Amino acid sequence: MQVLRPISEKDFAALKTIAIESGHGFTSLPVDDDLLSSKIARSEQSFAKTVAQPKDEGYLFVLEDSDSGEILGTTAIEAAVGMQTPLYHYHLGKTVHHSRTLNVYNTVDILSMCNDYTGASEICTLFLREPFRKGLAGRFLSRSRFNFMALHADRFSDTVIAEMRGVSDEDGHSPFWQWLQEHFFSIEFPQADHLVGLGDKVFISELMPKYPIYANLLSKKAQAVIGQVHEKTKPALRLLEKEGFEHRGYVDLFDAGPTVESRLQNIKTVRETKRGAVRIVKPEELNLTEAQTWSVSNCGLAHFRATFDTQVNWCGNTAAFKVTADIASALQVSEGDEISGFIL
């Protein structure tokens, strides 16, 4: 059984393996022992905190095979971005150059640096290791975050964003960054990307152009990737679009990948999630004639657990979930406890 749970100190080696496997462009997990250790410690502190409103908490989860103990992937939620370190984006807008005298009317795309998402919650760090990218595991990793946020809504903003990885080649070089590097910087994209992952963003405010950039002055290759996602990120983007996330013109400063957003209560998983009491039954007592795969979780915080299986029945008339003993054990719940669930 695959179980999602909060990360702990004992998962350091597995998290480092994931950081190595994720490759270039995955800025939230740089290969740095100290930073990875601090991320785990920060997550443990966030789960343990009493919170009245979202601040600088970060919740990091791992997906574990309950039989082997192997870590299959990870995902995370930032409670409120930009509160300690500025979060920069470019916003793609338009300006008009019009001369009635010359009968000229030109609309030009411009990129303006901003901090518009300060205070928003961010879903991030979703990575499923290559051997386990089959079935519903990826969808489960993505959607379970929204279930957790709905269960603990006071810990998160009403605006939820996701920064999508932009276009880069197999060596980690970004066409968009190459134009910026040529005109404003003297470092390669992987180095800039690594600095951001380490939290060192001072150089952005020091060297980034302060005024809007006319998009038509960029190279053709740079223009072509604005708002586009990396090939490996397309499945994740499709999942978020099905949840109701939209791109509203905000892109990453370095690779021009899109940032998508939604209101928490408008997210499909949040709207479809049901809550009810646990009823532990034998497998033969379940009605599986029209088997559906359910994602189910307990309603805990530091002891949050979630899994997915077909051995689940929702009883709407009694507001209860019928589950097997194995599932109840994986969720660490007993008869009568409240759990949450949605159809994957």
Active-site residues, by number, are: 230
What CA–CA distance (Å, rounded) separates 2 from 132?
Answer: 11
What CA–CA distance (Å, rounded) separates 212 from 221?
Answer: 19
What are the helix and strand counts (H, E) for the chain?
10, 16
Sign of the C-alpha dihedral computed for residues 24, 27, 28 and 31 taken in this order: positive
What CA–CA distance (Å, rounded) separates 151 from 172?
Answer: 37
Buried-state track 97-107, b at ≥16 Cβ within 10 A, e below 16? eeeeeeeeeee
**For every residue of 244-261, which 3-state class applies, written as one string?**
CCEEEEEECCCCCCEEEE
Beta strands in 129-225 (DSSP E): 159-163, 213-214
Q: Nearest to residue 90, comparing CAs of 163, 34, 196, 18?
A: 163
- Where on the phi/psi map is residue 23: left (φ > 0), alpha (ψ -120 to 50), or beta? left
Identity of the amino acid at 278:
V
In order, the DSSP letters of 82-95 are TSSS---EEEEEEE
| Type and span of the H or E element at 330 | helix 325-331
- Give the SS3 label for residue 99: strand
